[in-house]
Amino acid sequence: MSSAALQILADGQLIVDSQHPQAITTLQSIQPFSLVEAYVGRYVRCRLHRTTLWGAAGRGSNAAQIIDTLVTSSGAPLNARVQRTIETLMSRWGQVVLTGTATTLFLQISEPTLTPRFQHDPAFAEFFDTPTTNGWQINPLLRGALKQAFWRKGWPVADHATLLDGTAFTCTWRNIIALRPYQQAAVAACVAHSHGVVALPPGSGKTYIGVAVLAHVQRTTLIITTSRAAAQQWYDSVLAATDCAPADVAIYRGTTATLAPITITTYQQLIARTSSCAEADWGLILYDEVHTLPAPVFRSTAMLNSRRRYGLSATLIREDGRIGDVFSLIGPLRYSVPWRQLEHQGFIAAARCIEVRVQLTASERARYLGALSRQQGSLAAQTAAKYTVVQRIRQRHVGEPLLVIGHYLAQLHALADLTGWPLVTGESSTDERAHWFTAFRNGHIDCLILSRVGNQALDLPSASVLVQISGSFGSRQEEAQRLGRVLRPKASNTALFYTLVSAQTREVDDAWQRQRFLTAQGYTYQIINEDEL
């Protein structure tokens, strides 16, 4: 064991020895300005990140304080390169500032030498059209776009302009629902700021965190979700946890496009009806699964930037690399708890992840090798051997609530025909989905097949076994979301997550890529062959 709990590498990685007596204190001291990246054996690997450094600066910390914390915790002088990085990034906070009101907005550049640099950059051209004695007057509708543009160039915007207060709406939390300690901490972190992001694992009760924030803010609220099923779950949670009347809560969709004091919609509906939603006098915007924000929604989100807003997320990763847009538009990370910490505390189920390697038949192998690269993934994912493996897993866990999730509809329909298990896809009607979800929750069925609709939040708390028969190539986000379907706490508080992978195909590489986020959270995958089931 080293003499200090913290070791600092030259590339900015912070390595904490979890078995050191000062490990917990050290993690708590560096948490405000670093991100946990991975759990590797006894070590926790964190990294200094501009998002967290700027977040710390926004809360009043400076470079000297952070450097002192690192030196004290590591017991050694700080590497010169790491120190320069901290000083450079922290010095940028407060150089670009938005002031004024939600309707009269001004951009100010604190360092005069930076002004020509920004003015001559085409990325900022639209923001320097209207000079005033207070800097540059900005179109309020460009508030979010401005922050995006500066973020992409490595400059945070300190947004000190006031927000629109929105319409008052009285809503009281019912004391019959008790928030867990980490949920209470998340709510407190939100209400202490006007905007930001909360990151917690699936099944940890993020919906109730959002509802509790809503009840605290006491303003009309727009809740934006990923799907119709998620919208219904929010609707039910608002009515269960508060004294809101059903008439005060509405799901905004194509057939019933009505606004209420608390309106719940989907990202797809927001894209289709941006003006209707953006023009309402909201006092609060809640973004569910904010990491999944579709690119077209970024513009709509930018238009809503003058409102109090919070994002809820399980995985702050995006395969398109645009997670920075989430932070610039919604706000910095305000609160998070590692997945395994909540597992150890019993708040989410302990999960065992198993990768099952299946073999292609000779004819399937020949087709795979002769196919174009873009076709190989589909061919490998849809091998017939997977149907047999799914049935073996069912036999191994008879009576346990089991979900099968896949990417390819033809494969899922074939499995449904073979097993007789019900299938829910994006083409299923709202009534059909509700019927099968209710039947699964009530124990009338214990096997259910889902298409990618299963990637998002579903209220199926009893599910304890999940079989991933195919996926969207190397998506880390999808992998984590699917594991989340079985993480709700339950009687046994254990969950099994099977992933079926065709051996000696590109699926093996895709599986490794998909698993990176969860392995960084401390999960391990046991790899077995199909004949070991």
d(CA 275, CA 7): 51
Q: Are 533 and 393 in contact (CB under 8 A)?
A: yes
**What is the distance between the terminal CA atoms of the chain, rounded to a whole angstrom?**
40
The pLDDT of residue 323 is 75
Q: Are 8 and 78 in contact (CB under 8 A)?
A: yes
Q: Is 11 exposed, middle or buried (0-12, 13-18, 19+ CB in 10 A)?
A: exposed
The pLDDT of residue 3 is 83
The pLDDT of residue 1 is 47
d(CA 443, CA 412): 22
Give alpha helix (H) positions in 192-314: 206-217, 228-241, 267-272, 274-278, 297-303
d(CA 349, CA 487): 5
Find where tokens 């969709």 sit: 253
Q: Give the model confidence (pLDDT) of 251-287 as tens digits.
A: 987 666 789 999 999 988 887 766 677 778 999 999 9
d(CA 65, CA 147): 26
Give the dihedral of Cα atoms 374, 380, 381, 386; nearest 10 deg.
170
Write phi, then psi, for 424 (nearest 5 degrees). -120, 125
Query: Could you report the average pLDDT of every consecutive run of 10 residues in the chain (533 residues)?
Result: 85 92 89 84 88 87 96 94 96 94 91 90 89 88 88 92 93 93 97 92 94 97 91 95 96 79 91 73 94 71 81 82 79 86 92 97 96 93 97 96 97 98 94 94 96 86 96 89 92 92 95 88 92 92
Q: Are 289 and 456 in contact (CB under 8 A)?
A: yes
The pLDDT of residue 395 is 97
Q: Delineate the domains of the chain, giving CATH numbers in brackets.
A: 6-92 (no CATH), 96-159 (no CATH), 181-337 (3.40.50.300), 343-532 (3.40.50.300)
Against a cut of 0.85, is the pTM above it? yes
Tokens of 512: 């490794």
CA torsion through residues 320, 326, 327, 329, sign: positive
